[in-house]
Amino acid sequence: MVGADAKETTYRAEARANGLFVVHGDGELVAEANGFLATLTQRGFSARTVRAYAYDLVVFFRWLAPRALPLAGVEEADLLEYIRHQQERDAKPRSINRRLSTCRLFIRHVSGKEPERHTAAGHYRGRGRDRNLGLHVLRPQRRVALRVKVPRTLVEPLSREQVREYLRGLQRYRDLCIVYLMLLCGLRSREVLLLQLDDVSFDELQLRVRGKGGKERALPMPELLRRLLLRYLELERPERLASRCLFVVLKGQQRGSGMTAAGLRSLFRYRRRKQGLRSANAHRFRHTFGTDMARAGVRLPILQRMMGHAQAETTLQYINLAMTDIAADYARATSVIQRRYAR
């Protein structure tokens, strides 16, 4: 139970020698939270995923602290208040839904059950016969998790001209390889950074990629990318490095060490500013890959496997039609229709 006299900001995530922990302001470990995180680690969740859970728990504990609610007593009505609390702080719907999921898993870990749901009797529909035909017994409805509606946004892929302009501004083989891995293979930023020298098979023209959750997948390597990687390894990557990372820092005090996420973001940010391409980020190149594959007629199961999506629905949402596709088909259709009804 969280005490009523606890301050809202007395919880934080703190990195220690053996991992990341949720602690009070005085440094005392929060046993329930860290037991939950330890369980996730034992189940094989990645350090990155456990870290995300830890920060979600910090947000939850800061909200819970002044309310004096026992963890086992948190109900869905309380979670609705938690949603309002985050909305007042301008949290994004996807962030709220992720935190709600963390809360449910954590509460189930502590109490052994889901947060209680109190449904008004007038809205309850139990087992019975279909009201229209009355021919069959209705199955009980599956419990739907509490979520916030996420607005569907259309992410436009980069145009051919934008891609060509961006590529013309790159001066290193390393940077060209990174962009082509996203543009021609659909890799995420982190997947690019996790590539090792042994993951590239030049003889078989194949890449081994480590995706989310430690899941590996094999991807074909285009001939253009093969040539650029060979040039990078021959001319730019320092020899006899201890690091087996494929992409390393090429200058400065950190020369020869593996590229970091911050370094990769800096690379794209610098190019966007210099060339005035505000939308040319790493995710947009990956999205362009998905859209190009869909336009080329690649089947959904294959594209799902190539992009490393666990669910086909994710792939479908990821490759929403761009306005240019809609406009082109609309123009072709209306040209025929206008001739049909022309006076």
Q: What is the mean pLDDT of residues 128-133?
A: 53
Q: For position 6, what pLDDT does the model report?
A: 44
**What Rg do the C-alpha atoms of the chain give, in angstroms?**
26
Enumerate the domain spans of the chain: 11-111, 160-327
Burial readout 134-146 (b: 16 or more C-beta within 10 A, e: otherwise): eeeeeeeeeeeeb
Distance (Å, whole) CA 285 – CA 279: 9
H or E element at residue 201:
strand 200-201
Domain 11-111 has CATH 1.10.150: yes
Q: Could you give the percent of the chain with pLDDT greater than 90?
A: 41
Cα 170 to chain centroid distance, Å, stands at 27
The token pair that represents 111 in the structure block: 């109490």
Q: Which of 102-111, 184-193, 231-240, 305-314 has the lowest mean pLDDT?
A: 305-314
Beta-bridge mates of residue 75:
116
pTM of the model: 0.73
Amino acid at the residue 28 = E
Per-residue pLDDT band for 134 (boundaries 50, 70, 90) equals low
What is residue 99's three-state secondary structure?
helix
Per-residue pLDDT band for 27 (boundaries 50, 70, 90) equals confident
What is residue 265's three-state secondary structure?
helix
Higher pLDDT, 101 or 137: 101
The per-residue pLDDT of the chain, averaged, comes to 84
pLDDT at 8 over 80: no
Could you tell me the CATH superfamily of domain 160-327? Answer: Intergrase catalytic core (1.10.443.10)
Distance (Å, whole) CA 87 – CA 253: 43
pLDDT at 217 over 70: yes
Q: Could you give the percent of the chain with pLDDT greater than 70?
A: 86
Most confident of 68-77, 111-120, 227-236, 298-307: 227-236
pLDDT at 273 over 90: no
pLDDT at 319 over 80: no
Residues with Cβ within 8 Å of residue 99, at least 6 apart in sequence: 56, 59, 60, 82, 86, 91
pLDDT at 5 over 50: no
